């Protein structure tokens, strides 16, 4: 088995199964001798920010001298990015060894046909982190929490719920209360601590408080009022939390809330007896990195990537873009979305900003590499409708079915002090990153970020 054949075998499995149940996953883990049972976990759920928050927590714990496993999704460039140890993707040999064990066990499981892609990937992650004897595993939920494959773990040292918003309603429910209830499924008896990130909806807070009370957990609440952003520039975020200054490598205003959530998680782990110094917190935040989160790929012109793809994510991206708008002359956007994300209503959130509209000089729409993608021309039509209500004439909107063709078209129009913000589906971020790097490596102009 090679890494590619293992990934192909995973992708041949269904993305989702029928009625939600953890029973097939539990039976698979039993055949694998329950590797998750011997691990210490920080379990991270939520709608937006959970990948960044998990990465920051893992970086802090690594700076504190722990051997840290990090499980996130999706990947941007290489499938093995989903399994990181000390910040690095696991080796091909480690991945293949765990995948082979998992597929062998599945042959003995009558319920194997009920397993999804995410179930199998999660089982592989548990095998890897147990085999590598990780001190702590920071585990990002996939979809939801209650019936998420990651929820077969024992009670974690800390359960973290990031910002809750409207996404995956076809599975999780159409109300904030319903979505939050599914996320709160990770709160189980014996959980060491519960960390609640700042929430946009009071209903989410009320629902979390109810579940926490059932498990006799007093939440560590992250106070948005205790966050003060001191500097937010292209490539730099400096903020204080409860009066303590921090620098964050993930440079977007919305990352301050995620960083504060990571800090409170550390406080909870300290209360449980884990030794983590203040210097480890500062250095861990300063070096935490995750691609496609307001990622600066190039300067002069400025090229940024962000995987915001739902209403709350686009609202946070809009606010971050407004903070840095004064640092460039013109704004261009490259956008690709999945049809399931309700692109017309979601994009109206971002393009409602008068400041960004004033800077906006052109938009390119593309079709992400997914059968669920919204076609580029259809997306362009949505944007023309959204921008038609402005007093000024809307900027040019061009559509390209191919992501790389769309990028090349907009790059030719950029000047040194312009900014290109690429956002939307994470399915196109790897293609965009590689295309941007090739463009600058081959000397087409500008500077790599």
What percentage of residues in the chain have a pLDDT greater than 90?
A: 82
The Cα 268–Cα 157 span in angstroms is 9
Residues 6 or more apart from 355 whose CB is under 8 A from it? Answer: 322, 325
Question: In this model, does residue 19 exceed pLDDT 80?
Answer: no
Mean pLDDT of 421-439: 92
Of 305, 357, 365, 349, nearest to 331 by C-alpha is: 357
**pLDDT-based confidence at 439, cuts 50/70/90?**
confident
Please determine, for residue 149, whether its predicted confidence score (pLDDT) is greater than 60: yes
Q: In this predicted structure, what is the pLDDT of residue 74?
A: 87
| Sheet of 447-448, strands arranged across | 397-400, 360-366, 331-336, 419-424, 302-306, 295-299, 447-448
Query: Do residues 173 and 43 lie in contact, with contact meaning Cβ atoms separated by under 8 Å?
Result: no
pLDDT band of 366, cuts 50, 70, 90: very high
Map tokens 């996130």 to a residue. 72
Nearest of 242, 323, 245, 254 to residue 286 by alpha carbon? 245
Task: Quick: pLDDT tens for 94-104.
Answer: 999 999 999 99
Query: How far is residue 419's CA from residue 362's CA, in Å, rounded to a whole number?
Result: 11
Give the pLDDT band (50/70/90) at residue 6.
very high
Chain position carrying tokens 């809307």: 394
Sign of CA dihedral 47, 338, 428, 126: positive
3-state secondary structure labels for all residues of 164-219? CCCCCHHHHCCCHHHHHHHHHHHCCCCCCCEEECCCCCHHHHHHHHHHHHHCCCCC
Domain ranges of the chain: 3-287, 295-448
Q: Encoding tokens for residue 294?
A: 């307001």
Q: What is the 3-state secondary structure (H, E, C) of 297-357?
A: EEECCEEEEECCCCHHHHHHHHHHHHHHHHHCCCEEEEEECEHHHCHHHHHHHHCCCHHHH
The superfamily (CATH) of domain 3-287 is Mur-like, catalytic domain (3.40.1190.10)
Give the model's pLDDT for residue 250: 85
Q: Label residue 371 left, alpha or beta by phi (over 0 means left) and psi (-120 to 50 means alpha).
A: alpha
Q: CB burial class (10 A; 0-12, 13-18, 19+) of residue 354?
A: exposed
SS3 content of the chain, % helix, strand, coil (to 5): 45, 20, 35
Q: What is the mean pLDDT of residues 170-180?
A: 87
Q: Which residues contact 33 (CB under 8 A, 6 or more apart)?
A: none
Picking from 319, 393, 288, the residue whose alpha carbon sits closest to that of residue 163 is 319
**Planar angle of CA 311, 71, 255, nearest 5 degrees:** 40
Q: In 341-396, which ranges are E strands?
A: 360-366
Instruction: Tell me the angle at which helices 117-131 and 92-106 cross, rounded to the nearest 10 degrees.
Output: 120
Residue 147's pLDDT band (cuts 50, 70, 90) = very high
Average pLDDT of the segment spanning 346-356? 93
| The architecture CATH gives domain 295-448 | Alpha-Beta Complex (3.90)
Mean pLDDT of all residues in the chain? 93
Straight-line distance from the first to the last Cα atom of the chain, in angstroms, rounded to the nearest whole number: 37
The whole-number average pLDDT for the span 31-47 is: 97
Query: What distance in Å separates the CA atoms of residue 222 and residue 225, rounded to the nearest whole number?
Result: 9
Name residue 420's beta-bridge partners.
Answer: 303, 332
- pLDDT at 320 exceeding the cut of 60: yes
- Other Cβ atoms closer than 10 A to 35: 18
* The model scores a pTM over 0.75: yes
107-117 confidence digits (pLDDT tens): 999 999 999 99
Phi first, then psi, for residue 388 (nearest 5°) are -75, -15
CA distances from 205 to 56, 141, 186, 261, 293 (A): 23, 19, 15, 15, 26
**Both tokens of residue 145?**
């929490």
Residue 45 sits at φ, ψ, to 5 deg, of -120, 175
User: Whole-angstrom Cα distance, residue 179 to residue 118?
Assistant: 19
């Amino acid at each position: 088995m090679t890494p590619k054949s293992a990934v192909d075998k995973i992708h041949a499995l269904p993305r989702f199964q029928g009625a939600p149940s953890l029973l097939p996953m539990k039976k698979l883990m039993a055949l694998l001798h329950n590797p998750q049972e011997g691990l210490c976990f920080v379990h991270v759920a939520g709608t937006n920010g959970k990948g960044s928050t998990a990465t920051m927590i893992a970086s802090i714990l690594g700076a504190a001298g722990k051997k840290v496993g990090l499980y996130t999704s999706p990947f941007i460039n290489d499938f093995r990015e989903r399994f990181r140890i000390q910040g690095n993707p696991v080796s091909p040999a480690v991945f293949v060894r765990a995948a082979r064990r998992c597929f062998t066990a599945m042959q003995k499981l009558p319920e194997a046909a009920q397993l999804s892609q995410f179930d199998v990937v999660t089982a592989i992650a548990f095998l890897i982190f147990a085999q590598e004897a990780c001190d702590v595993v920071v585990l990002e939920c996939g979809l939801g929490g209650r019936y998420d494959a990651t929820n077969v773990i024992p009670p974690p040292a800390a359960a973290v719920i990031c910002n809750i918003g409207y996404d995956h309603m076809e599975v999780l429910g159409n109300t904030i209360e319903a979505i939050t209830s599914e996320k709160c499924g990770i709160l189980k008896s014996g959980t060491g601590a519960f960390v609640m990130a700042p929430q946009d909806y009071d209903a989410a807070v009320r629902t979390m408080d109810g579940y926490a009370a059932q498990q006799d957990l007093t939440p560590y609440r992250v106070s948005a009022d205790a966050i003060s952003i001191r500097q937010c520039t292209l490539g730099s975020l400096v903020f204080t939390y409860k009066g303590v200054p921090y620098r964050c490598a993930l440079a977007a205003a919305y990352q301050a809330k995620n960083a504060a959530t990571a800090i409170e998680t550390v406080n909870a782990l300290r209360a449980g007896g884990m030794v983590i110094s203040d210097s480890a917190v500062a250095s861990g935040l300063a070096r935490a990195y995750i691609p496609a989160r307001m990622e600066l790929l190039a300067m002069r012109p400025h090229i940024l990537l962000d995987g915001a793809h739902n209403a709350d994510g686009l609202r946070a991206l809009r606010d971050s873009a407004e903070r840095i708008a004064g640092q460039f002359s013109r704004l261009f956007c490259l956008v690709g979305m999945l049809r399931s994300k309700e692109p017309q209503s979601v994009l109206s959130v971002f393009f409602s900003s008068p400041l960004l509209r004033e800077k906006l000089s052109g938009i390119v729409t593309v079709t992400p590499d997914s059968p669920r993608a919204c076609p580029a021309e259809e997306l362009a039509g949505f944007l023309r409708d959204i921008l038609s209500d402005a007093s000024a004439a809307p900027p040019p909107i061009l559509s390209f079915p191919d992501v790389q063709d769309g990028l090349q078209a907009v790059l030719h129009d950029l000047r040194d002090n312009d900014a290109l913000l690429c956002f939307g589906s994470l399915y196109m971020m790897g293609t965009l990153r590689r295309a941007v790097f090739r463009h600058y490596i081959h000397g087409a102009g500008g500077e790599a970020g």
